[in-house]
Amino acid sequence: MSPRRNPWVVLGKITLVAITTAAAVGAWIWMRGRRDVRPPAERYAVAEVKRADLYPSLSASGRVESSVRTVVECELENVAIGVMGQPLYAGGSSVLLTIVPEGSAVKKGDVLATLDSSEYDELLRQQQMTVERSRADMRTAELNMEVAELAVLEFRDGSMTEARNDFQRSISMAEADMFRVNERLDWSRRMWKKGYVPKGQVISEEFNQAKAEFSLSQERAAYDLFTHWMAPSALRKLQVQASIERNTVAYQRSRLARNLDRLHKLERLVAACTIRAPHDGYVIYANDQRRGIVIESGMFVRQKQDLMYLPDLNRMEVVTALHESLVKTVGKGMHAKVFVEGFPGRQLEGRVTDVAALPTADWRSDVRYFDGKVRLDHPPANLRPGMTAQVVIDLGERSDVLTVPALAVTREEGREYCYVVHDEGLERRQVKLGEGTSDLLEISEGLREGESVVVNPDPSEVADDMIEASPAACEGTLAATGGSPAADAPSDPGPSSKSSEDGHDASGRAVVLSN
């Protein structure tokens, strides 16, 4: 059985709740009675919408560079040679052994850096031996050619002429024998007719005549064979051999030239492992933070990789990164003011000389930036590449435009609004922005000249003073500003509708400004 409750305790609790509720209601009524009843124009900081001339500018960070600089790069190349049928390679990369400190002043011919040359040294030694073998083969081929040419001269002007003379002598002797034999045959025939010699002697002389005639025909045939066939054939063979030896010499000469070219190339590559200053200058490392490249001893370097720069300090510029939404507002020839951190309080003058057509690659971010170059008119003597600078680019004058203070525009739900002041309350009105400065913003649609707007409004404070905008007022505003009834349409969802620290407003116009 549960214990019985005390009625006095229950009554006390009920009384306490009633008193608390009455106090809260009384406080609310008292606060309502103390509400500020002054008109909005007196209770808020307000500013008038009025026309003014704007001088918008774009501010971006950058770095000092030289517009003219000598790039010192790795000049090693991929090389392969064959030695006794075995290929040897050098891959076009090496290890950076030493490098002068960044910022060093160097003279022409000073050593800037050294690369590991062991692979190229071995290739050079092998190629030197190959060149010596080529020279020996070349000399052998030249001697063989000389021997073959001498053999041609010996046969043509010596052996062949002497053989021709021998054949002619043999023919002359055979002709003489023939003449003698014919004389004896005629004499024997005359004597036989007179009965002084027997018939057998005549027959013997006739046989000697036939024999001498056969010998003469043999000598003449041998001479013709030698003259028309044997001598030209032998001479041609010797000439062909001489031509072969000449071609061998040409091949060995070309082979030696190729081997010498390779030798000279390897000598150049070995020398390229010691990098020297091409002229006097100031050393700047070719670091690339976007690609994660930091030049330092011990790193691997590849063919054609930039190692350092020797800038011309008399021709300096500032390279600045322009956001993709702002790059369209910047053009060549625009005036710019440059503030270098190394020269506090000093303003440098310059002009935009180039805007990159393509963005710089950065795999770490989806945001795209375009490099803009500002040439300095009169760079100071101690200005050095790599210094940090702030660039303010003048975007041109905007004459006689409607303006409001920058603090009078708020961004809510992805759109820009101003709180317009009326006698009976505040009207939240969407506006469209144009150009601007750090203090004033151009209003292209949404407000009329002479209206008042709240400066730096707090949504929690102005909530009780909000009133509904009349259609007539909205139409009058659009007519006065030259707009259309599209003020309530959603704003452009593209990149230009974002408001961020990189310096662009919801309409994509540049509002990153100098102070």
Summarised one tens digit per residue, pLDDT across range 408-464 is 999 888 899 999 999 888 999 999 988 877 788 899 999 999 999 999 888 778 887
pLDDT of residue 27: 56
For residue 98, which of 83, 82, 110 has the smallest C-alpha distance? 110
Domains in the chain: boundaries: 40-56+397-497, 69-114+275-311, 122-271, 312-394
Rounded-to-integer distance, Cα 185 and Cα 203, Å = 9
Distance of CA 387 to the CA centre of its chain: 24
In CATH, 69-114+275-311 is 3.40.50 = no
CA–CA distance, 318 with 393 (Å, rounded to integer): 12
Per-residue CA distances from 415 to 106, 126, 162, 490 (Å): 57, 75, 116, 8
Neighbours of 247 (CB within 10 A): 12
Burial of 8 (0-12, 13-18, 19+ CB in 10 A): exposed
What the block records as the tokens of 283 is 């050393």
**92-123: per-residue pLDDT in tens?**
889 999 999 988 888 999 999 999 999 889 89
CB 59, CB 391: distance < 8 Å: yes
Q: What is the DSSP string of 447-474?
A: --TT-EEESS--HHHHGGGB-PPPHHHH
| Residue 322 confidence class, pLDDT cut points 50, 70, 90 | confident
Please, which residues have CB within 8 angstroms of residue 113's CB and are 6 or more apart in sequence? 96, 97, 98, 99, 100, 275, 307, 308
CB-CB contact of 450 with 485 (8 Å): no
The H or E element that residue 266 is part of is helix 231-272
pLDDT (0 to 100) of residue 448: 92
Give the model's confidence band at 362: pLDDT under 50 very low, under 70 low, under 90 confident, else very high.
low
Backbone dihedral angles phi then psi of residue 85, each to the nearest 5 degrees:
80, 0
Q: Do domains 69-114+275-311 and 312-394 have the same CATH topology?
A: no
pLDDT in tens, 144-163: 999 999 999 888 888 888 88
Which residues, including other chains, have CB under 8 Å from residue 21's CB and lie 6 or more apart?
Answer: none
- Across the chain, mean pLDDT equals 82
- CA 41 to CA 45: how far, in whole Å? 7
Architecture (CATH level 2) of domain 40-56+397-497: Beta Barrel (2.40)
Distance CA 310, CA 69 (A): 6
Q: Which of 306, 312, 321, 307 is nearest to 388 (CA)?
A: 321
Does the pLDDT at position 250 exceed 90?
yes
Residue 252 has pLDDT above 90, yes or no: yes
SS3 per residue for 148-187 = HHHHHHHHHHHHHHHHHHHHHHHHHHHHHHHHHHHHHHHH
Amino acid at 344: P
pLDDT of residue 1 exceeding 70:
no
The CATH class given to the 312-394 domain equals mainly beta
User: What is the DSSP code (8-state) at residue 136?
Assistant: H
